[in-house]
Amino acid sequence: MYGRRLATIEEIIALVSPDSEDELSTLETWAADHEIPVHAVEVGDDIDDVYTPEREYLGVTLGGDGTYLEGVRQFSPRQVPILGINAGTLAFLASISPDDLTDALDETVRGGATVDRRQQLHVEGNGVDCTGINDVMIEHEPPENPVDRKITELEVFADGEFVGEYEGSGLAVSTPTGSTGVSLSAGGPVHYPMNNSSLQIVPLHTHRMGTRPLIVDADTTIEVVSEGSANLLVDGGRAQTRLEEGDTITISGADTSALVVNTSYDDDFFTSISEKLGWSVREDRHDHGDTDRAVETSEAEDVVRRAKQVAEDASKAAGEALRELHGQTESVEYKSDKSDIVTEADYKADNIITTVIENEFPTHGIRSEESDEQVGTSEYTWLIDPLDGTGNFAHGNPNYSISIALLEDEEPVMGVVYAPETDEMFTAIEGEGATLDGLPISTTDRTSLDECMLLSGYDPNGTFLSHCYQETRGVRSIGSAALNLCFLAAGSADAVWEFDTYPWDVAAGVVIAREAGATITNADGEQYDPIAAHETRNELVGSNGPVHEDLLSHLDDEQELQATQQTSAD
Cα-based distances in Å from 222 to 121, 170, 173, 242: 11, 15, 9, 18
| DSSP bridge pairs for 401 | 388
Cα-based distances in Å from 468 to 119, 465, 549, 552: 52, 5, 15, 12
> Can 524 be counted among the known catalytic residues?
no
Burial of 534 (0-12, 13-18, 19+ CB in 10 A): exposed
Burial of 113 (0-12, 13-18, 19+ CB in 10 A): buried
Binding positions for Mg(2+): 369, 385, 387-388, 505
Report the distance separating Cα 295 and Cα 517, nearest Å.
36
Binding positions for NAD(+): 65-66, 134-135, 150
Catalytic member of 48, 65, 217, 550:
65
Amino acid at 453: M
Cα-based distances in Å from 519 to 403, 511, 551: 20, 11, 11
- The helix, strand and coil proportions of the chain, stated in percent and rounded to the nearest 5, come to 30, 30, 40
Report the residue count for the chain. Answer: 570
Please name the residues in contact with 174: beta carbons below 8 A apart, sequence gap of 6 or more: 134, 135, 136, 181, 182, 183, 188, 191, 199, 200, 202
State CA 88 to chain mean position distance.
Answer: 31
437: phi then psi, degrees, rounded to nearest 5:
55, 40
Contact indicator for 496, 505 with CB cutoff of 8 Å:
no
215 conformational bin, left if phi > 0, alpha if psi -120 to 50, beta if neither? beta
- DSSP H helices in 361-480: 390-394, 463-468
- Which positions are catalytic? 65
